Amino acid sequence: MKKLLFLGLLVSYSNSWGQSFSQINQTPLLYHPSFAGSTGKGRLAWMGNMDNYNMKSSYLSYDNLWKEKGIGWGTSLLYSHQSSDGSFDMKNNRIGANCYFSTKHVLLYSIDEKPKYTLSPSLSLGYTFDRTSYDTDYLYYGNDKIILDHQTWQATLGMLVNSENGYVGITYKNSLRVDDLKYAAYFEAQNYHHTAFLPSFSLVLAQTFFSRSKFFRLTPSGYFQLNTVYKKSGNYSYSTTKDVTLNLTANIMKIYLGAGYSSFLISNRNVFAGFQNEHIRMGGGYGWNTDYADIKFYELSFSRFF
């Protein structure tokens, strides 16, 4: 039983909020803290999704640019809930908050005195609490109950270079995760306490083609993350995972259409579409899982620029 729970914990360490939202442009702060203030004005963004297994997630963020000092700042809140019933009753609730700070430095101006290349170092700090409870009637001889709490404190350092037509950025994130597990079976009760450090490195990039056209633009974008888990629980253990998100977005006047792929633990594909202008961006998406054909999810998004 202990080995089974240990393996389950290692798998859960690769979870991140980014995997719940497949559109890089709609939830940029989840992918890189240097996007705080990147629009040069206030941005309020919301995104929600749900799947056919009662998993619901919601993301809300606000960021702005202090133009006199060239400092971008922002904050975000995230919440997810999942439940299932039957012989294996599971409930999961997760809530998290992050704050972001980024300074903007112009490396080169264009002929018309507009920034051509901008360097943005950044810092983000965050906290997440996650509780999962299981009630089963088939383990051992009676009703077994498992409560697993995760607390994660994380700090991220980032560097992003923006150009007129795209961006490329890297991050280093380190998280301290504390897990407390309470297990109560028919004839025994056990408690486990685990701690782990979760260093990770990521790369985010995008390039817009036909950027001077007023009618059509094409933007491929990608996010790549390597997670390394350093876990202490009696013995020392290591685990690594690789996360990938790819998007291809076509802007046709004020309409955008796109498709994406992500591989956080399991592989997902999605399509999305919406409307955008200088004040708002709104749309929806549909996705499906390529490992398990019966998993489907739906997304809605809205952004307001001030």
Distances (CA, A) of 129 to 21, 91, 293: 18, 14, 30
pLDDT confidence of residue 221: 92
pLDDT confidence of residue 292: 65
What are the b/e assignments for 13-48, b being 16+ CB within 10 Å?
A: bbbbbbbbbbbbbbbbbbbbbbbbbbbeeebebbbb
Pick out the chain residues at pLDDT < 50.
Answer: 1-19, 140-141
Q: pTM of the full predicted structure?
A: 0.84
pLDDT confidence of residue 95: 94
pLDDT confidence of residue 3: 44
Q: How far is 104 from 204, CA to CA, in rounded Å?
A: 18
Percent of the chain at pLDDT > 70 equals 80
| pLDDT tens-digit series, residues 178-211 | 888 777 665 566 777 778 788 889 999 999 998 7
What domains does the chain contain, in order, with CATH numbers?
2-305 (2.40.160.60)
| pLDDT tens-digit series, residues 127-175 | 999 988 877 655 544 556 788 888 999 999 999 999 888 999 999 998 8
